[in-house]
Amino acid sequence: MSSIKLKEISPRAPENFDKNDTKEKLQQIILELDDLQNLLYAESKHSVLVIVQGMDASGKDGTVRNVFGKLNPQGVLVQSFKEPTKEELAHDFLWRVHRHTPAKGMIQIFNRSHYEDILITRVHKMCDDKTAHKRMQAINDFEKLLTDHNNTSILKFYLHVSTQEQHKRLEERIKDPTKHWKYNENDFKEAKLWDAYMNVYEECFANCNDIPWIIVPSDQNWYKEYLIAVRLRDLLKGFHMQFPGLKK
């Protein structure tokens, strides 16, 4: 069982990381990812599910754009899970999620995910503890199903941003005209529930850790994106993929 304590983890890069050097390395890794994703698609034996979770303004959208945006869109899909529709609520909580799991050869990104059903629902008292723990077990079983029966590898990233950096980014959405479209008054209300969110996230890490969570320091976008790109690159290289030969 995980004992991750977010207060004990720095949301910033180590001092020995140079920003410019790291950004240059990131661009080289993205070139590698482009080749590896093409190989993944061609071989069509593996699939990858990338789960991106984090507080508002932790940089989820930027991660998707800057790490995955230069890959071939034929092989990368993005799905966000917002408030369930009436039809979705008439089914089990994983019904709407399972429809978007990756086929072999594909990288599927969940920008927010099935974990919302044990996070925001608990903070806002829409889901009691007993139901939440049943859902956690269902999530573990769901992820095991994907890994065991569809050769799916799952990367689960939590974007670890500080309260100070979150507040700064939320304020930018008011001050910067190019970010006005991101503004949502409710984000400031949610930010006041920080401690409650940290508690449910840490319980999530403890109970849904069969596939380990990767805590990504996210106060500096360049460092966050570098770490995620490295993890994905290393995963894909570990498949030891080969291009298929001529069809006979």
What digits encode the pLDDT tens for the residues 53-70?
Answer: 999 999 999 999 999 999
Contact 113, 82 (CB under 8 A): no
The pLDDT of residue 242 = 96
Alpha carbons 233 and 68: distance in angstroms, whole number: 11
What digits encode the pLDDT tens for the residues 164-193?
Answer: 999 999 999 999 999 999 898 899 999 999
Residues 6+ apart with CB under 8 A from 236: 33, 36, 37, 39, 40, 48
Average pLDDT, the chain: 96
The pLDDT of residue 205 = 97
Q: What is the model's pTM?
A: 0.96
Looking at per-residue confidence, does 82 or 145 come out higher? 145
| Residues written for the chain | 248
Each domain of the chain, given as residue ranges in start order, spans 46-237
Phi and psi at 159, nearest 5°, equal -85, 105
Alpha carbons 230 and 155: distance in angstroms, whole number: 12
The pLDDT of residue 123 = 97
pLDDT classification of 95: cutoffs 50, 70, 90: very high
Angle between helices 221-237 and 19-43 in degrees, nearest 10:
30
The pLDDT of residue 246 = 87
Tell the residue number behind the tokens 């920008």, with chain if given. 111
Long-range contacts, 178-187 (Cβ 8 Å, 24+):
184/56, 187/56, 187/57
Average pLDDT of span 139-146: 98
Average pLDDT of span 217-244: 98
Residue 90 has pLDDT above 90, yes or no: yes
Tell the residue number behind the tokens 């995963």, with chain if given. 235
Query: Are β-strands 47-54 and 152-160 bridged in parallel, bridged antiparallel, or unpaired?
Result: parallel
Residue 106 has pLDDT above 70, yes or no: yes
Contact 200, 116 (CB under 8 A): no
The pLDDT of residue 222 = 98
The superfamily CATH assigns to domain 46-237 is P-loop containing nucleotide triphosphate hydrolases (3.40.50.300)
Contact 204, 6 (CB under 8 A): no
By percentage, how much of the chain surpasses pLDDT 70? 99
The pLDDT of residue 2 = 56
Give me the helices (H) in 9-119, please.
Answer: 19-43, 60-68, 86-89, 95-98
- CA distances for 156 relative to 165, 166, 190, 210, 248, angstroms: 22, 21, 22, 11, 39
Residue 237 has pLDDT above 90, yes or no: yes
* CA-closest candidate to residue 4, choices 209, 227, 232, 218: 209
Phi and psi at 167, nearest 5°, equal -60, -40
pLDDT classification of 139: cutoffs 50, 70, 90: very high
CB atoms within 10 A of CB 97: 20
